[in-house]
Protein backbone atom coordinates (compact mmCIF):
# COMPACT_ATOMS: atom_id res chain seq x y z
CA UNK A 1 0.00 0.00 0.00
CA UNK A 2 2.82 2.36 0.97
CA UNK A 3 4.62 1.66 -2.31
CA UNK A 4 1.47 2.45 -4.31
CA UNK A 5 1.00 5.72 -2.40
CA UNK A 6 4.64 6.61 -3.02
CA UNK A 7 4.19 5.85 -6.71
CA UNK A 8 1.13 8.10 -7.03
CA UNK A 9 2.77 10.91 -5.08
CA UNK A 10 5.71 10.62 -7.49
CA UNK A 11 3.30 10.93 -10.43
CA UNK A 12 1.73 14.04 -8.83
CA UNK A 13 5.20 15.49 -8.27
CA UNK A 14 6.09 14.92 -11.94
CA UNK A 15 2.80 16.49 -13.07
CA UNK A 16 3.50 19.55 -10.91
CA UNK A 17 7.11 19.79 -12.08
CA UNK A 18 6.07 19.79 -15.72
CA UNK A 19 2.73 21.59 -15.33
CA UNK A 20 3.85 24.62 -17.33
CA UNK A 21 5.30 24.05 -20.80
CA UNK A 22 8.54 26.00 -21.19
CA UNK A 23 8.48 26.24 -24.97
CA UNK A 24 7.29 29.60 -26.30
CA UNK A 25 3.70 29.01 -27.46
CA UNK A 26 3.94 30.81 -30.79
CA UNK A 27 1.22 30.47 -33.45
CA UNK A 28 3.29 27.80 -35.23
CA UNK A 29 3.69 25.71 -32.08
CA UNK A 30 -0.02 26.04 -31.19
CA UNK A 31 -1.00 25.08 -34.75
CA UNK A 32 1.34 22.05 -34.78
CA UNK A 33 0.02 20.79 -31.44
CA UNK A 34 -3.60 21.28 -32.57
CA UNK A 35 -2.97 19.32 -35.80
CA UNK A 36 -1.24 16.60 -33.77
CA UNK A 37 -4.26 16.36 -31.45
CA UNK A 38 -6.66 16.02 -34.40
CA UNK A 39 -4.37 13.44 -36.07
CA UNK A 40 -4.18 11.32 -32.93
CA UNK A 41 -7.92 11.66 -32.30
CA UNK A 42 -8.69 10.38 -35.82
CA UNK A 43 -6.19 7.55 -35.44
CA UNK A 44 -7.74 6.47 -32.13
CA UNK A 45 -11.21 6.57 -33.79
CA UNK A 46 -9.90 4.30 -36.56
CA UNK A 47 -8.48 1.86 -34.02
CA UNK A 48 -11.74 1.80 -32.06
CA UNK A 49 -13.66 1.19 -35.30
CA UNK A 50 -11.29 -1.68 -36.19
CA UNK A 51 -11.62 -3.11 -32.68
CA UNK A 52 -15.44 -3.01 -32.85
CA UNK A 53 -15.55 -4.64 -36.29
CA UNK A 54 -13.17 -7.40 -35.14
CA UNK A 55 -15.28 -8.01 -32.02
CA UNK A 56 -18.46 -8.15 -34.18
CA UNK A 57 -16.90 -10.78 -36.45
CA UNK A 58 -15.89 -12.86 -33.42
Binding-site size, another protein (CB under 8 A): 22
Residue 14 contacts another protein per CB under 8 A: yes
> What is the nearest approach in angstroms of another protein to the Cβ of residue 29?
6
Asked whether the CA dihedral 42, 43, 47, 53 is positive or negative, the reply is positive
Q: Which residues, including other chains, have CB under 8 Å from residue 23's CB and lie 6 or more apart?
A: 29
Residue 48 contacts another protein per CB under 8 A: no
Contact 29, 23 (CB under 8 A): yes
Binding site for another protein (CB under 8 A): 10, 14-15, 18-24, 28-29, 32-33, 36, 39-40, 43-44, 46-47, 50
Amino acid sequence: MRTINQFFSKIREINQRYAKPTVEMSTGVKFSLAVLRIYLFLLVLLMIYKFITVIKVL
